[in-house]
Amino acid sequence: MVPAVRDGGGGGAVLTARRSELRWPGLRSVYCWQPPTGRVGVSEPQQIGVSFAEHRGVVAESGGHGDRFDIRPGDVFANGRSRVYWSEVVRPDELVEMYPGDDLLRAAAGSSRTPEIEPLRGVRDAVVLGAASILKRAHVGAAYVDTVRASALAHRLAEHVVGHYAGIAPPRRALAGRLDRVLLDRVADVVETRLGDPLTVDDLAAAATLSPFHFARAFKATTGLAPHEYVTSRRMERAKSLLLNGRLSVPQVAYSVGLSNLSHFRRQFRRHTGYLPSQLRTAGSDPPGDGVGAAGSAA
């Protein structure tokens, strides 16, 4: 997800708040980027989402209990049946929240009662991250997600959430041909630690102890993204954070995420974010203060 960028009138760019909501059969998603406002952000019940920004010392309150913690870009958060209130927002925040429909959750659970999504704080989960990465591109106009793909994504997300965060095992057919959580986490860790290095499908397949062919099929069936799409998405998110930090030039950022061809980097960055690297580099040329914001939309 990327911040809205508008011309500042003097050749530069400034960051402005942006929020959108998209609905598909069985799934609603909310995209939010906002500068620090001093207001309390709110996440609605039964959501699962991803923060695409780095935060330190944020406060989340729910049911009269508050926690302070740090957030890494790509961390997953979820609510049960209570709202979560986010405060200590002192830097820009970016997130995608996803709300699987009750009917879809009941179908995934094989139950007449709607499963409750357990509260999560800062979990690493490549399935949720993959879904959020697909949807954020739809929100910012960088990709079109039709109802067929959205429906498949919604079912995959509901089955995953029910099986991992609601204590109900999904039907065996839902897991056929997919990577289990242990192998998927192992692959995701390899990607995160080697974003600046050359990566091949053989490297990732080795982490999953599968042949490249079977790994590629299973990875896409699990996350909704082909391995190269997932790696590129994570690289562009890392690049975006570095550009907004404002301390590296565009070529330095491209090199730091494993891309030596600057033209290719610019094309990929625009395709994944909707903006040119120079726009975010200009917008982030004066880095914000040391404090960091909190996840949570102002819905």
Any idea where the domains of the chain sit in the sequence? 1-176, 177-288
Q: Show pLDDT as tens, one digit a residue, over the chain (299 residues).
A: 344 444 444 444 445 778 999 999 999 999 998 877 778 888 999 999 999 988 888 899 988 888 898 999 999 999 988 899 998 877 778 899 999 999 999 999 988 999 999 999 999 999 999 999 999 989 988 788 999 999 999 999 999 999 999 888 766 655 668 899 899 999 999 999 999 999 999 999 999 999 999 999 999 999 999 999 999 999 999 999 898 887 889 999 999 999 989 999 999 998 887 788 988 776 654 433 333 333 344 33
Euclidean distance between the first and final Cα of the chain, in Å?
17
Q: Measure the CA–CA gap between 288 and 12, rounded to whole angstroms.
A: 16
Asked if the domains at 1-176 and 177-288 fall in one CATH topology, the answer is no
Burial class from Cβ neighbours inside 10 Å (0-12, 13-18, 19+) for residue 9 reads: exposed
Neighbours of 219 (CB within 10 A): 27
Q: Are strands 55-62 and 27-34 parallel, antiparallel or unpaired?
A: unpaired
Asked if CATH classification 3.60.21.10 holds for the domain at 1-176, the reply, yes or no, is: no
Sorted by sequence, the CB contacts under 8 Å of residue 43 that are 6+ apart come out as: 49, 77, 79, 83, 84, 86, 97, 295, 296, 297, 299
- DSSP lists the bridge partners of residue 93 as 34
Asked if CATH classification 3.40.120.10 holds for the domain at 177-288, the reply, yes or no, is: no
266: tokens are 């610019």
Buried/exposed 129-141: b ≥16 CB within 10 Å, e otherwise: bbbbbbbbbbbbe
Tell me the pTM. 0.84
